[in-house]
Structure 1
Amino acid sequence: MARESFDKEIQFLRLLALTGGAYSRKQFADRLGISVHTYDKTLRYLKDILSAGQQGLTPEQSAELTAGFRYNHYESADPLLLFLYRAKSLKETESARLALIMAALRKQDLAANDLMELCGRELPADAALPDEKTIRGDLKYLEEVGVVKRIDGKRPYRYRARTELIDQLTDDELIDLYDYTDVLANTQLPSVQGYLLRDTLKKALRARGLGPETTETHVYKYHYHSRILDEAHLYAIHKAIESRRKLTFLYLSPKRGTRYASKNTNPLFETQTTGVTETILPLKVIYDHQYGRWYLVGHNARQGLMKFRMEGLTGLEEGAQVSEEEFAMRLSHAEEKLRHSWVIDTMRSFRVVARFYNPENSSHNFVKARVLAQGQWGEITEETESFFQFEITVNGLTEIKPWLRSFGSSCEVLEPRWLRHEFMAEWKELQAYYEPVREDF
């Protein structure tokens, strides 16, 4: 899949998840900055990718694209982007062909000629049929990544899918492994690789006749689609950081209405590309648990330390390499600026003092447990049976305010005084919303 095409699909699915089907085709295309024709073509392409990743599944097991947007309190929806990750580094023809090859090698050992005949029978009539060189290249790639193995040294070489680990597990052991992977994939960062492993284990359980009642023992409701979407950039950014290389990309600020900057050939949409091309030395990636957002922090020769929301990145390209000394100097400067940042704020520091009230008639102090888990470098400076006092020095107050506010009546801000008055005004405004409209209400 071409890189620009993948950027479009990421933004397409992001907007689809955020709007939940509230837009018409025309409204959706206008918001994304594409034509209705491109909207229809992209939607068909996403459905093709989804169906290519479901080789060997029954109609009951196969999922529709719309299943990723359904909201059901009693089941966990698979991450919407799972199928796109399987195809993000592949050309369109490779997506279907490799899925077909893997499905066949799970059932029996086959040689390149056997697989070539299989592709001729199973691939769509309008698809380009692979030659022997293409099939051998696919097998070499699959062998390098460790998903197939050559079973003997005699020609013609025969290949087998590497499923021995799963095959050697009992049903109970496979279920335990699935449950463990399910919990970690839904609670740890990054999570895409965990979701891919979980999906493979789910298929293995289905192949043994173990249905959904076996796998859906834990129910998760996923709210941050952007977290999974932006992991597409995570590995490319970390690769650039490890190799000390600069990155060039087109940045679309989330504050703007347009969510995608296409490489336009249609003059009608040529003026809608509103992104800014940036070149930076990437230094670190920061995740905001409060809103499920990834941030890229880097150094720009012209503007110094810069911060970007990763959902606005598109068209990443590696650039020149810098010396280890320069990278270490830039990273040290960034860490010093971010030392007191709740997330990525680099404004002047403030001392925040808040009083947290312990829950009444509860055997577990969940308020204190949460403060200790999420309070970063802050400290508890005073404690009684009914409350404890928490102090922290933090850059700016914009990022910590939602965290303090989320404790509701269990948190009282003491300092700075002007922040205390801001909270008082906010709570009074909320109280006014709930004033009765009639005296006898």
Structure 2
Amino acid sequence: MARESFDKEIQFLRMLALTSGAYNRQQYAERLGISVHTFDKTIKRLKEVVSAVHQQLPEDKGKEFAQTMRYSYMDSSDPMLLFLFRAKSLKESESQRLSLLLAAMQDKALTAMELLDLCCGSMPADLSLPDEKTIRGDLKYLEQVGVIKKETGARPFRYRIHNEMVRELSHEELLDLYDFVDMMASTQVPSVQGYLLRDGLKKHMARQQEADRSAAPFLYKYNYYSRILDEAHLFTLLGSIRQRRMVSFLYFSPKKDTSYASKNTNPLFERETEGMQETMLPIKVIYDHQYGRWYLLGHHPGGAIRKYRIEGLTQITLGNEVAAELFETRKLELEQRIQHSWLIDTGKPVKVRVRFFHPGLGIPDFVRERVLLQGQWGEIVEEEENSFVYEIEVNGTIEIKPWIRSFGSSCEVLAPEKLRQEMIAEWKEIRAYYESI
């Protein structure tokens, strides 16, 4: 599947999840920068994916896709947006071919030529037949990801399924492993590989005809849907950082009304897009736990530091490799600029002082525990019977403000004065909302 199509569906699903079907067809198309006809084709394709991957969804054909996602959300512990990775991680021919290879190696070890003969005799007629180079590439890929194992011995080498771990585990151990993978995939980042591993364990237990205890005993729900969708670009960007390669992409700022634009291959239908064509040297990827967002940080060819929300990146292409000395220089410069960033702010450093209040006698001091856990490099500089003073130097106050605000009446900003006045104004505004009741 073309990368452009993947970008389009990522942006489509993000809007669908965040708006819960509040837009009509025309509004969705305008927001995506596509025609209503293209929008309808996208919905048709996604419905096909849903029906193939999530057989438990309602079969009401007249129900809109947005309603299908919204109403089935609590019926499954699966993140509803994960099916995109299952359906589009491989081309159809690759999916068919790998499935045949894995099924053949399930019972015995085979050589590359034996697997080639098997594929050529079993591939559907409408798909192209692989050659020896393709099969060897598939085997190398499957070996790298740990799915198969090369047996020791003389050439020609034989390959077999590498599943000794799950085969040697008891039923109770498999359940414990499944629960652990489920919990970690739902609470840690990145998550997509964990969910795919969880699904693999579930299928293995089903093949073993175990009791239906493999169903998830807990329902871990995502608060931030974009987190999974943005992982589609995550490993491409991490790979470019490891290889010190430039990247180019079409970027849509979250402040813009449009979040996607199709490629115009026909010059008669070229049009202006609201996206910005950007080129940069990626240095660092940062995840914001508070809002569930990924950020890409790096350097513009002119030398300036650039920061992008990964959810706005589309049509990513890799460029030329830069010298190791230049990359290390840019990396050191960036690290120095964000040394005192609460997240990614590169503004002027400012000292923030906040007084936190203990919850009261006989109540565990959860306020102090949370400050020590989440306060990063800040320190408690004063201790009193009913409160303590926390101090930290950060680049600007914009990023730390939501964290301070989340403590509600359990804290008071002491400095800087500008931040104190901003907090006062915000709490007065909140108070005004309730005065009429």
Mark the CA change 1:156 to 1:381 in structure 2 (over 3 Å): closer, same or farther: closer
* Residues in 1 aligned to 2:97 and 2:53: alpha-carbon distance in whole angstroms: 10
The 8 Å contact of residues 285 and 295 in structure 1, kept in 2 or not, is answered as yes
| Residue 187 of structure 1 pairs with residue 160 of structure 2 | no
* Residues in 1 aligned to 2:153 and 2:48: alpha-carbon distance in whole angstroms: 37
- Give a deviation string over 1:66-125, Cα, whole Å, max 9, x none: 66544766x6632234333245453344345544664676588895555555443xxxxx
1:271 counterpart SS class: coil
- Give a deviation string over 1:43-88, Cα, whole Å, max 9, x none: 333344456667xxxx559999766544766x66322343332454
- Give a deviation string over 1:135-164, Cα, whole Å, max 9, x none: 846853564444345789999999754433
1:85 counterpart SS class: helix
The structural deviation recorded for 1:381 is 0.8
Q: Superposition pairs for residues 6-17 of structure 1, below 5 Å?
A: 6-17=6-17
The code of the aligned residue for 1:16 comes to: L
The 8 Å contact of residues 112 and 157 in structure 1, kept in 2 or not, is answered as no
The code of the aligned residue for 2:127 comes to: L
Q: Superposition pairs for residues 16-415 of structure 1, below 5 Å?
A: 16-50=16-50, 59=55, 69-70=70-71, 77-96=77-96, 98-99=98-99, 102=102, 111-120=115-124, 128-131=126-129, 133=131, 136=135, 140=139, 143-145=142-144, 146-148=146-148, 161-210=161-210, 214-265=214-265, 270-302=270-302, 304-415=304-415
* Residues in 2 aligned to 1:104 and 1:63: alpha-carbon distance in whole angstroms: 34
* Residues in 1 aligned to 2:325 and 2:12: alpha-carbon distance in whole angstroms: 40
Q: Which runs of 5+ in 2 are unaligned?
A: none
Structure 1 counterpart of 2:423: 423
Mark the CA change 1:295 to 1:156 in structure 2 (over 3 Å): closer, same or farther: closer
* Residues in 2 aligned to 1:155 and 1:419: alpha-carbon distance in whole angstroms: 71
* Residues in 2 aligned to 1:35 and 1:101: alpha-carbon distance in whole angstroms: 40
The 8 Å contact of residues 288 and 343 in structure 2, kept in 1 or not, is answered as yes
The code of the aligned residue for 1:133 comes to: D
The 8 Å contact of residues 33 and 272 in structure 1, kept in 2 or not, is answered as no
The 8 Å contact of residues 249 and 313 in structure 2, kept in 1 or not, is answered as yes
* Residues in 1 aligned to 2:351 and 2:208: alpha-carbon distance in whole angstroms: 59
Structure 2 counterpart of 1:123: none
- Give a deviation string over 1:188-212, Cα, whole Å, max 9, x none: 2222221211121122233344566
- Give a deviation string over 1:265-289, Cα, whole Å, max 9, x none: 5789743522111111111111111
1:218 counterpart SS class: coil
The 8 Å contact of residues 354 and 414 in structure 2, kept in 1 or not, is answered as yes
* Residues in 2 aligned to 1:330 and 1:87: alpha-carbon distance in whole angstroms: 38
The structural deviation recorded for 1:341 is 1.0
1:256 counterpart SS class: coil
Mark the CA change 1:358 to 1:179 in structure 2 (over 3 Å): closer, same or farther: same
The structural deviation recorded for 1:304 is 0.7
The 8 Å contact of residues 345 and 399 in structure 1, kept in 2 or not, is answered as yes
How many correspondences in the alignment? 426
* Residues in 2 aligned to 1:47 and 1:273: alpha-carbon distance in whole angstroms: 28
The code of the aligned residue for 2:432 comes to: A
The 8 Å contact of residues 230 and 294 in structure 2, kept in 1 or not, is answered as yes
The 8 Å contact of residues 356 and 411 in structure 1, kept in 2 or not, is answered as yes
The code of the aligned residue for 1:304 comes to: A
Mark the CA change 1:270 to 1:251 in structure 2 (over 3 Å): closer, same or farther: same
Mark the CA change 1:433 to 1:132 in structure 2 (over 3 Å): closer, same or farther: closer
Quote the sequence identity (%): 53
CA RMSD of aligned residues (A): 3.3
* Residues in 1 aligned to 2:413 and 2:121: alpha-carbon distance in whole angstroms: 71
* Residues in 2 aligned to 1:155 and 1:285: alpha-carbon distance in whole angstroms: 43
2:271 counterpart SS class: helix
The structural deviation recorded for 1:214 is 3.9
The code of the aligned residue for 1:198 comes to: R
Structure 2 counterpart of 1:124: none
The 8 Å contact of residues 73 and 80 in structure 2, kept in 1 or not, is answered as no
Mark the CA change 1:160 to 1:330 in structure 2 (over 3 Å): closer, same or farther: closer
The 8 Å contact of residues 247 and 281 in structure 1, kept in 2 or not, is answered as yes
Q: Report which stretch shifted further, 283-292 or 427-436.
A: 427-436
Mark the CA change 1:107 to 1:222 in structure 2 (over 3 Å): closer, same or farther: farther
- TM-score, length basis structure 1: 0.85
* Residues in 2 aligned to 1:153 and 1:46: alpha-carbon distance in whole angstroms: 46
1:183 counterpart SS class: helix
Mark the CA change 1:22 to 1:430 in structure 2 (over 3 Å): closer, same or farther: same
The code of the aligned residue for 1:396 comes to: G
Q: Which runs of 5+ in 1 are unaligned?
A: 121-126
* Residues in 1 aligned to 2:207 and 2:347: alpha-carbon distance in whole angstroms: 56
* Residues in 1 aligned to 2:227 and 2:365: alpha-carbon distance in whole angstroms: 30
The 8 Å contact of residues 246 and 321 in structure 1, kept in 2 or not, is answered as yes
The structural deviation recorded for 1:25 is 2.1
* Residues in 1 aligned to 2:22 and 2:311: alpha-carbon distance in whole angstroms: 21
Mark the CA change 1:18 to 1:275 in structure 2 (over 3 Å): closer, same or farther: same
* Residues in 2 aligned to 1:117 and 1:164: alpha-carbon distance in whole angstroms: 29
The code of the aligned residue for 2:172 comes to: D
The structural deviation recorded for 1:292 is 0.7
* Residues in 2 aligned to 1:262 and 1:114: alpha-carbon distance in whole angstroms: 40
The code of the aligned residue for 1:312 comes to: G
The code of the aligned residue for 2:379 comes to: E
The structural deviation recorded for 1:342 is 0.9
The 8 Å contact of residues 76 and 221 in structure 1, kept in 2 or not, is answered as no
Q: Report which stretch shifted further, 139-148 or 237-246.
A: 139-148
Q: Report which stretch shifted further, 413-422 or 332-341.
A: 413-422
